[in-house]
Copies of this chain bind each other. A is one copy, B any other.
Amino acid sequence: MPFTNRDFYFAPELSEEAVSVTLSGDEYRHLARAARHRAGDVVGLTNGTGLVAAARVESIGRDRAVLLVEELFPGYGEPAVQLTLAVGLIVPSRFEWLVEKAVEVGVTRIVPLVTQWSERRRGVRLERLRRIAVAATKQCQRAVVPGVAEPVGLPERLETVDQFDLTVLAEAESETSAAATLQRTAQWTEGERSVLALVGPEGGFSAQERQLAAGAGAVEANLGPRRLRTETAALHLSILLLNIPTR
User: At the interface, is chain A mostly helix, strand, loop or mixed?
Assistant: loop
Interface size (A, Cβ < 8 Å)?
A: 35
Q: Given the interface contacts A172-B4, A173-B1, A179-B245, does A105 sit within 8 Å of B227 by beta carbon?
A: no
Q: Kindly supply a per-residue 1/0 record for chain A positions 131-168, scoring 1 wherever the CB is within 8 Å of any chain B CB and 0 otherwise.
A: 00000000111100000000000000000000000000
Choice from B76, B178, B229, B239 contacting A240 with Cβ under 8 Å: B239
Min CB gap A220→B, angstroms: 13
Say how far A18's CB is from chain B's closest CB, in angstroms: 22
Give bound CA distance, A79 to B223, whole Å.
11
- A191 close to chain B: CB less than 8 A: no
Whether B101 pairs with A232 at a CB distance below 8 angstroms is yes
**A236 B4 Cβ-Cβ under 8 A:** no
Q: Which residues of B contact A106 (CB under 8 A)?
A: 224, 226
| Interface residue ranges of A163-216 to B (CB < 8 Å) | 172-173, 178-179, 203
Q: Provide the A216-246 mask, 1 if CB < 8 A to any CB of B, else 0.
A: 0000001011111100100110011001010
